Chains A and B, each alone.
Chain A
Amino acid sequence: MMRGAWLFALLLPLLIVCVFGGKQSQQILVLLDDEVIRSTHSNFFSALAERGHNLTFKLADDENLKIAQYGIFLYDSIVLFAPGVEELGGDVDLASILAYIDSGHNMLVAASPATSSFTKELAAECGVKIDKVNSYVIDHFEFDASDISGNHTLITATNVIMNPVIVGSEPFESPILFRGVGMKKMDSNALVTKILTAPTTSYSFVPDKAADDKLLATGADIVLMAAMQARNNARVTIAASLDMFSNALLASPVTKLNADASTTTFSKSGNAQFVTAVTKWTLHERGLLRAQNVRYGIVGGEEFPRAFRVKDELYYKVQIDEFKDGKWAPFAADDVQLEFIMIDPYQRVTLRHDGKGTFFTTFPVPDVYGVFKLDLKYRRLGYTTIFLSNQVAVRPFDHNEYERFIVSAYPYYASIFSMMSGFVVFCIVYLYSKDSSSKASTSS
C-alpha cells in the first residue's frame, strides 16, 4: 500500500506538468467582440502564429461557440479580446470559463474602458477589480505627446515587474504605450501578480470630468496588467488595455514630454517586446518547472523502504527541469528546500544540485516515530509551483536492532553470572553436606 502511495504522489504532479506544460504548438481560441480586431491587431496574432500556435478566431457571441466537447476541452489556451461582450455565445458562460481555468488552462484577457460585466466578473474571480465603464487611466505628466486630445489617456508606462521569467531578461529601452481602463489588485488574493503598474502621477477616472474622491486607485496602485497563477499552475493574464496589443501601438514611436518642456523620442514603443514576453509566459512557453524521478531511501540501504527507522540517514533526490526556449533544460537554483514534516517540520534542508538538474540531500531521520511527509514545495514568482509530497513512516528500533552487549553493563553481566554460579554451588553444598546439629539433636 505504501508503495502505491508514493507512486501516486510521485506521478500526480508529473502528470499535471506533462499534460499542460511545455507544449510548443498550441490550439488557441481567440474570442473577439468585433471582427475588426483581427485586422487592427494582426501583428500580434501573426506573431503568435509564427511561434507555432494554431489560432482559431471566433466572435465571442457566436452562437455555435463551444470550448469543450464530450467533457474534453478543445483548446489549450484562450485569448479573450472581447472586453465588451455581455454574454458568450453557445453554452459557454462564466462557470464554464472558470472550470476551464481550474482544469489547468491559460487565458489572456484584455479589458478596455468599455468592459462588460462579464469580463469584470471573470477578472474579479481571479482577484482583479476593473474600474467603471468609460473610465481611463489618465496621467498629465507621463503621456505620449501624440495624444493631442488633452485627456492624456495614452500614457507611457515604465513600471514593469523586475522578473526575468515573466518579462524576459532584456531591459526595456522604451516606455510602453497604454490606453485603457484602470484595474486594482484585490489584496485578499495572494496569487495575483502586478506585471505592469501605472506611473505614480496617474489616476483612473472618466476623462473630461472632475475627479472626485471616489477613485478606484491612484498612482502605482493602478494595475495595467495583472497575472494570476492558480494553484494548478493555470495562468490568467489580464491586460487593462486592448489597444496595447494593437498594430498601431506595437509599432508606434514614443515622444515623451519632459519637465523642462523638451521631448525625448523613442523610435519604437516597448509594447512589442513586453507583449511578446508576457504572452510567452502566459501561454506556458516559459517559466515552467517540472520535477520528476523522486528517489529517497536509506543511505547505503534500501530505496523506498516500507518504513524508515529513527536515526537512519535519509537521502532524497529529484530531477528538476525548466522549460526554456522551447525545450526542457536542467534547472539550477540554490533555494530549493525539502521539509520533513509530522504536523510540524522536523527537518528543513536546502537541496544541493549538480548543475544537471539533480537536486539532492541527506539528513538524519529524527528520533521520533510517526508518519512523516517529505514535502518539497517550491514557489517562486514567475515559475510554476512544484509541490511534491511523499508519505513515509518512521518506526522505532526493532527488538533485535539494539546493541546486544553494552560495555557499561558488564558489571550487571558479571553479577548475573556470579549469582548463578553461586546459587549452583550453594545448592550442591546444601544438598550434599551433613547437617551435624540436627543429627546431634535427633541423637540426643
Chain B
Amino acid sequence: GSFDGGRRRSTQMGFLQSVQNFRIPKKNESVFLEIVILGCIYVLAFAVRLFSILRFESVIHEFDPYFNFRTTKYLVSQGLYKFWNWFDDESWYPLGRIIGGTVYPGLMYTSAIIFWILNAISLNVNIRNVCVLTAPFFASNTAIVTYLFGKEIRDTETGLVAAALISIVPGYISRSVAGSFDNEGVAIFALILTFYLWVKSVNTGSLFWSLLCSLAYLYMAAAWGGYIFIINIIPLYVLVMLACGRFSQRLYVAYTSMYILGTIFAMQIRFIGFQAVQSSEHMAAMGVFCLLQLVNFLSWMRTMLPGDHFRRLIKLVFTVVGSTTAVAVAIMTATGYISPWTGRFYSLLDPTYAKEHIPIIASVSEHQPTTWSSFFFDLHLLVFLFPAGLYFCFRKLNDANIFAILYSVTSVYFAGVMVRLMLVLAPAACVLSAVAVSSTLKTYMGHLKKPKAVAKKPKVDNTIPIQREIALVAIAGLTLLLCLYTFHCTWVTSEAYSSPSVVLAAKQGDGSRVIFDDFREAYYWLKMNTAPDAKIMSWWDYGYQITGMGNRTIIVDNNTWNNTHIATVGRAMSSTEPDAYKIMRMLDVDYVLVVFGGLTGYASDDINKFLWMVRIGGGVYPVIKEADYLTANGEYRIDKEGTPAMLNSLMYKMCYYRFGKTMTEYGKPAGYDRVRQVEIGNKDVELEYIEEAYTTEHWIVRIYKVKPEENRWAAA
C-alpha cells in the first residue's frame, strides 16, 4: 500500500540533504519507512516500560511475579524434567503443591529459553534481569504482531497506527512494565499473534496458516488461563459467520484444522490436560466444530439432491442431531464427565455471582467490576476512537472486519466485568482506534494532496469549497489528540504503573522521596533468623513473596486453590488468641506475619483486608460471623466503638501491639491510626500465646513468634 502522508511528513521534518538526495525506488521507499517506523515503535515500547528500573531498581514487582520468578529459577537450575515433576513442599503447608501440574508454564519456559540463549552466546546475564525485562521485550513483540494484525484486518497504515497505539496504551503497560513478570506479559503477545494468524488463515484458507495459528494457540494456552477467551471467541466468530451466510471453504479449513490441532496441543499443557475436551468452557468450540461438519455436509448434499429431498433431509438431520446432542450433553453433565463451570467463569457471565457466593474471588481487587474512570485512565483517547473504528469496520464489512468487531465487542463486555480484563480490551481498542485514525487521516490527507496528473481519475470530489482548510483542521485536531494521548500514557506509566509495590515510595513535605523497603527487610529477616523449616502464617497475599524472598514454608499463598485452607487461616486471624493458638498449633505455625500501615499510612494493609478474612473464614466455619465484627450500624470500626470480637481478634492485637503508646502524627493522641484516621480502641494489647519477633523500620511488616506450649502446664 502507499504511505504518502507519512513520506510527506518525514521529508518535511527535514532529513539531511544527503539523505534527501538519496532516492530509493518508490515501492521500496514505503517498505523502508515501515521498517524505520516499526523499529522506532519497537524501541519505544521497550523504553517506556523502564521507568520502574530507573526510579527503583531491577526488581521483580508485586505478588504473583515472585512465584513466577521462583519457578523460573527452579526451571533454570533444575532443568525441564525436574520442573515438570516439581512437588513443592514449601507452599501450602502441609498440603504441598504440585507446581508442575498447576502452572501455566509458558512464561517460565520463555524466560528460561531467553536466558539459555543469551548464555549460550556468552552474554552472561543474571536470571533476574532476564525475568525483569521479559515483559517489556514481549511488549515490543506485541507491537509488531499488532501491526500484522491491523494490516491483515485493513491495511498497512492501520497496522502501523495500531502498533504505535498499543506500544504505549496504559491498559497494557499496567501488566508489562519492567519487573512485572506475570503471565499476561507474554500472553497478550500470544493472544494477538493467535488472532492475527487466525484472521490470516480465514483470509487465505490455507492449512499452513491454520497450523501456525494452532501453534500460537498452544503458546497462549501454555502462558495464561485467558486462552479460554480464544477458544470461545473463535467459535463465536464462526457462528456469526454462519448466521451471516458467510460460510466458506476457507472458514471450514481454518476452523476444523485449528480446533483439532489446537485442542491436541493444548492438552499437552499439564494444567489443562483433559479439560480441553471435558470442561464446559471448551464445549462451545466442540459444538461449533460438529455444527461446521454438519453445515459442510449439508452444503455438499445440496449440490447432490433435488430441492424437496434436501429440505426433508434438513428436517431429519436437525431433529436427530439436536435431540442426540441434548441427550448426550445432559448425560455427560449429570455423570460429571463434563466438569461444571468454575466460579471465575460464572462471575464473568454474572458479575454479581462472586460477591454472593465466592468471597475469595470477590476479595481480589483485580476481580472487581471496572469503573468508568478506569476505562478512561487505561484507554484515554481510545475510548472515543473505538466506536468510530467500529463504524469504519461496519462500513467495509469483510471476514476480517467481522472478527475485529466481535473481538472488540466481547472484550468490552469482559473488561466491564473485571478490571483485570482491561488487558484484553486494550489491544482491541488499539486496533479499532487505528482503523478510525488511519481512515480519517487517509481521507483528509487525500484532500491536502495537490491534484497531480490530469490523466488520473481524481479520487476526491473537488466541488466542496475550503476542503483543504477543513482537512487541515481535522488533521491538526487529530494530531493534537494523539499528542495528548501520548502525554497521558507517559504520565500514567510513570506515575501509576511503575511502582514495584514491594518497595514503596512516598513524597515528604519538602518534596523529597522517602523509600519504604519494609517488605524486603522483613523477608530478609525471616531468611536469616528463622529455622530453615519454619512455617510462616500470613494472609495469602504475601505467600508468594515469603517463599520467593524469604525461602520459608508458608501456609497459604496467592494460588488460591484450596478455599478451606485459606478459610482456616482467616479463622485464625479473626479468632481470639487462645482459639487462634489451637489452629496455629494444628498447622505447626512458627511465625505469624502481618502487614500494618497505621504508622505510615499504607492503606492496603491487613486491617483493611480483615473483613475479607472474616468473610472467607466464615464461609467455611460458621462460628465466625461477619456481624460480630461490625458495629450495630454495620460500620467497620477499630476505635472505641469497635466490637469486642474485633478488638480482641488476633489480627487486631498483632497489628496494634505496642501501638497504643506510639505517637504517629503531630497534634494527635498516641495510638492514632493514620490509615483509618482514628485513635485505636484497644490501646494496651497484651499477648499471651505469641510474642513479637520483629517489626520493620516503618512497622509495615510485623512478625510474631508462636510460643511453645507452657512447659509446666497442660490442660487436663
Residues on A lying within 8 angstroms of B by beta carbon are 1-2, 4-5, 8, 98, 101-102, 125-127, 187-191, 228, 230-232, 234, 236, 307, 342-343, 369-373, 391, 393-396, 398-399
Contact = CB atoms under 8 A, between A and B. Distances in A.
A5 B95 contact: no
B94 A370 contact: yes
A125 B94 contact: no
Closest 9 CB pairs of A and B: A395-B87, A393-B89, A190-B716, A5-B533, A371-B94, A190-B714, A398-B85, A342-B94, A370-B96
B98 A230 contact: no
29 contacts: A2-B89, A102-B712, A126-B712, A188-B713, A188-B716, A189-B716, A190-B714, A190-B715, A191-B712, A230-B711, A231-B709, A231-B710, A232-B711, A342-B94, A343-B586, A343-B587, A369-B98, A370-B95, A371-B94, A371-B95, A371-B553, A373-B588, A391-B533, A394-B96, A395-B85, A395-B87, A396-B98, A399-B84, A399-B85
In this complex, the member of B81, B89, B533 whose beta carbon has the largest number of chain A beta carbons within 10 angstroms is B89
B94 A372 contact: yes
B149 interface: no
B714 A191 contact: yes
Given A2-B89, A307-B87, A393-B89, 17 more contacts: A1-B533, A2-B533, A8-B531, A8-B533, A102-B711, A228-B712, A234-B711, A307-B89, A342-B95, A343-B94, A343-B587, A371-B94, A371-B95, A371-B96, A373-B588, A398-B85, A399-B81
A307 B86 CA distance: 11
Contacts of B84: 399
Given A343-B587, A370-B96, A371-B95, A189 B713 contact: yes
Interface residues on B, range: 20 to 34
Contacts of B95: 342, 370-371
Interface of B: 81, 84-85, 87, 89, 93-96, 98, 531-533, 553, 586-588, 709-716
B89 A371 contact: yes
A236 B709 CA distance: 18
A232 B712 CA distance: 8
A234 B710 CA distance: 13
A114 to B, nearest CB: 25
Contacts of B89: 2, 307, 371, 393
B197 to A, nearest CB: 26
B95 to A, nearest CB: 5
A393 B85 CA distance: 14
A266 to B, nearest CB: 36
B5 to A, nearest CB: 50
Contact of A393 (B87, B531, B587, B711): B87
A224 B211 CA distance: 90
B712 A393 contact: no
Nearest to B82: A398
A397 to B, nearest CB: 9
Contacts of A393: 87, 89, 96
Contacts of A394: 96
Nearest to A189: B713
A369 B87 CA distance: 9
A234 B85 CA distance: 46
Contacts of A101: 711-712
A342 B84 CA distance: 24
B89 to A, nearest CB: 4
Contacts of A391: 533
A98 B586 CA distance: 28
Nearest to B708: A231
A133 B657 CA distance: 42
Nearest to B86: A395
Contacts of A126: 712
Contacts of A228: 712
A4 B94 contact: no
Contacts of B710: 231
A46 to B, nearest CB: 31
Contacts of B98: 369, 395-396
Contact of A4 (B96, B532, B588, B711): B532
Contacts of B586: 343
A284 B532 CA distance: 33
A5 B532 contact: yes
B106 to A, nearest CB: 18
A272 B191 CA distance: 89
B533 A189 contact: no
Given A393-B87, A393-B89, A188 B715 contact: yes
Contacts of B587: 343
Contacts of B94: 342-343, 370-373
B716 A187 contact: yes
Given A369-B96, A370-B95, A127 B712 contact: yes
Contacts of A371: 89, 93-96, 553
B441 to A, nearest CB: 51
B203 to A, nearest CB: 27
Nearest to A395: B87
B584 to A, nearest CB: 13
A370 B714 CA distance: 30
A307 B711 CA distance: 33
Nearest to A104: B711
B566 to A, nearest CB: 15
A393 B88 CA distance: 9
A283 to B, nearest CB: 18
A228 B94 CA distance: 34
Nearest to B712: A230
A232 B710 CA distance: 10
B87 A396 contact: yes
A4 B530 CA distance: 13
A372 B712 CA distance: 28
B87 A191 contact: no
B96 to A, nearest CB: 5
Contacts of B85: 395, 398-399
Contacts of A8: 531, 533
A5 B590 CA distance: 14
A5 B553 CA distance: 12
B216 to A, nearest CB: 26
Contacts of B588: 373
A357 B93 CA distance: 34
A336 to B, nearest CB: 21
A295 B81 CA distance: 29
Nearest to A229: B712
Nearest to A368: B95
